Structure 1
């Protein structure tokens, strides 16, 4: 009923459709036939009208959220594919897709070649373990550049449409009204971040494996999956949206756990190279990660360790939420620091079952760091020969 009403209401209102039906002869207002027609005219409730309008927005939602999964896998490569598909003008591409139309900002040779060069610059370093640190450093730039570019594209496409959307306000709150476009942009950013975080986690795990060709194989599979999903999007945005929602649901179930470990791995590994190539001035805190859950912190949560007059304070800074803090009094004893293969770890005598790991960026100045934070360096662990099997324990 809703779909039929949507199709008919684009030509005539519901009342005029009944009044102008040639198959029905005019009748008086008091007759039973007129009463029946009146009931039919009001059969479409406000909820039916709203549902019809929302159904009309389905295609635009598919056009916008459909490519988020391949863009999260490889932002620059995904935009290159979108631009190439727009320029190709193939007959099998969905003709109603605003992002792939000739009026789209992506329909430009300059956009295509620019993002193709950026794709090569960010993809080639991922093929080897030696150049992988540079690729990891550029990964954040690529991520935010890609999503920012798509948001700008969305604004341009919306503002250049001839007809404004039927539903200006989708959500109303005490502070104002949120439009459908704003909701779609927020959904796109959340979708992008969740899927890309999971991909980055597996990329770091691949980097840590001792097999040199695995990095190139992973990058090839990543680009192939991105291309396949983008071709599906060009053929049917709705089908791509369904696949994207499936990937988003799977990634969302493990997002929190993976996000904590992805930040931990990235901090530890980049700290190794920062110790050699980027010797920054030491800050008044250390970034530490608990090896297991330690109230109020989950395992591998990014925390800040600071020295206080009465001991030490560990803080978890949370976005839009109050910070979590743990105070360790000095009476419990000074924490003991041990140097591992790629991490340093400290243990407080008050709760020795928890190991707090931090990067080795300041190992060249270890004595001053220990004096400033009140640590005790375990000489035995620093001088011993490292067992390669310890790497697994440090990154667990």
Structure 2
């Protein structure tokens, strides 16, 4: 069966399981309001919807900071007698833990400007996986709660709105709860914005300069601050800005997704080298494209495969789950280049033109000779930076040797 069908069914089951407890939770939340004269927040028409769109977009830009800030704000602006009934992210243990982790990240970034960027990269990789975990928690619990509140306010403001849908049996029409539209659309919008924001974390671990890292983080923080500032001016204007951000994120999502997959696999091999070494297969190495290879976009993941006729192809899956496809490598000589973190495949079109075509995962460090032999490449060479270090080392040895000869 087509893997896409499995994915669609999994998303449908996940949505059904997610929505059913939300209805029960909303019913339970209404009981204390009817029993006690607790004050409920009142909004002007459209403000609740604007607030929900702004919160979802802001949290998607920085999940840990967004969830912690929203939780702390709601906790301190709620009456003391109803704080225990607030959602989990509004409880002090939740947003307090989030702020502690944010403090550690800030301390890491502050101290990182005084040390070489290479020494800070492992901590940036840990933050990369923290961002994934925070987004998973937010998409599974925070976003549905906000979407439910948006749907409840929308139904209160527009009770006459009914979304028609064809009945499963017969030709009649029935209405569905708008909650069934708000939650999936909110999760989709969150994931689109988050995957683009997460690409910044990947660019940070790929950048060798601490200054570039700081610029990328300031740019993301500025975008998040602009959303909050515009909301303070006019909620509807913030919602319009967030819709523009979501539209741009939808356009950039495919490239950001490829970058996120590349960053996750690259970081996992560096943080867990023993795991990567066990999974290394030099006869069919994992690689990512670095440029135009058969029309494929950069950082498309796949494997190098040697066919029965002796030709070498790059085999990949469309969208990681669809059918497999193969792209033949271009004609010319190929060399496996050793790298500081991972080897790469260099293609030479002639004696003067060459370019890096594929980047292997870090698990293949030390397997360069095996890859070159199996793929029938034209040898193995050191990385340009490594050759530079070797030249400096040889120069220093020569200088020291001459100094000893003069002193003698």
TM-score normalised to structure 1 length: 0.62
Contact 1:84-1:112 within 8 A present in 2 as well: yes
Residue 99 of structure 2 is matched in structure 1 by 116
Counterpart-to-counterpart distance in 1, 2:45 and 2:304: 49
Contact 1:147-1:192 within 8 A present in 2 as well: yes
Match of 1:297, SS? coil
Q: State which drifts further: 276-285 or 77-86.
A: 276-285
Contact 2:343-2:364 within 8 A present in 1 as well: no
The match for 1:185 among 183, 186, 192 is 183
Residue 58 of structure 2 is matched in structure 1 by 70
Question: 1:324-383 CA deviation, whole Å, 9 max, x = no partner?
Answer: 511649xx8996422234442236799987822222322134444556x54546234469
Residue 344 of structure 2 is matched in structure 1 by 345
Residue 315 of structure 1 is matched in structure 2 by 315
Match of 1:300, SS? coil
Q: 1:177 to 1:196 in 2, by over 3 A?
A: same
Cα shift at 1:75: 0.6
Cα shift at 1:228: 5.3
Structural mapping, 1:1-396, within 5 Å = 58-89=46-77, 104-105=86-87, 106-120=89-103, 124-127=107-110, 128=112, 129=117, 130=120, 131-154=123-146, 157=149, 167=161, 169=163, 179-212=177-210, 215-216=213-214, 218-219=216-217, 222-223=220-221, 225-227=223-225, 229-230=227-228, 233=231, 237-264=235-262, 267-268=265-266, 271-275=269-273, 279-283=277-281, 285-295=284-294, 297-311=296-310, 312-319=312-319, 322-326=322-326, 328=328, 336-346=335-345, 355-370=357-372, 373-376=374-377, 378-381=379-382, 385-386=386-387
Counterpart-to-counterpart distance in 2, 1:266 and 1:168: 43
Task: Say how many residue pairs are matched.
Answer: 323
Contact 1:287-1:305 within 8 A present in 2 as well: yes
Counterpart-to-counterpart distance in 2, 1:63 and 1:342: 44
Match of 2:288, SS? strand
Q: Point out the structure with max Rg over C-alpha.
A: 1
Question: 1:184-237 CA deviation, whole Å, 9 max, x = no partner?
Answer: 233323322332333333344345555435545654564465355346547754
Root mean square deviation, CA, Å: 4.6
Counterpart-to-counterpart distance in 2, 1:199 and 1:274: 24
Cα shift at 1:73: 1.8
Match of 1:66, SS? helix
Contact 2:369-2:380 within 8 A present in 1 as well: no
Q: State which drifts further: 145-154 or 217-226.
A: 217-226
Cα shift at 1:274: 4.2
TM-score normalised to structure 2 length: 0.61
Q: 1:220 to 1:294 in 2, by over 3 A?
A: closer
Q: 1:383 to 1:75 in 2, by over 3 A?
A: closer
Cα shift at 1:107: 4.4
| Structure 2, unpaired ranges of 5+ | 1-43, 390-408
Match of 2:318, SS? coil
Counterpart-to-counterpart distance in 1, 2:320 and 2:342: 30
Q: 1:191 to 1:90 in 2, by over 3 A?
A: same
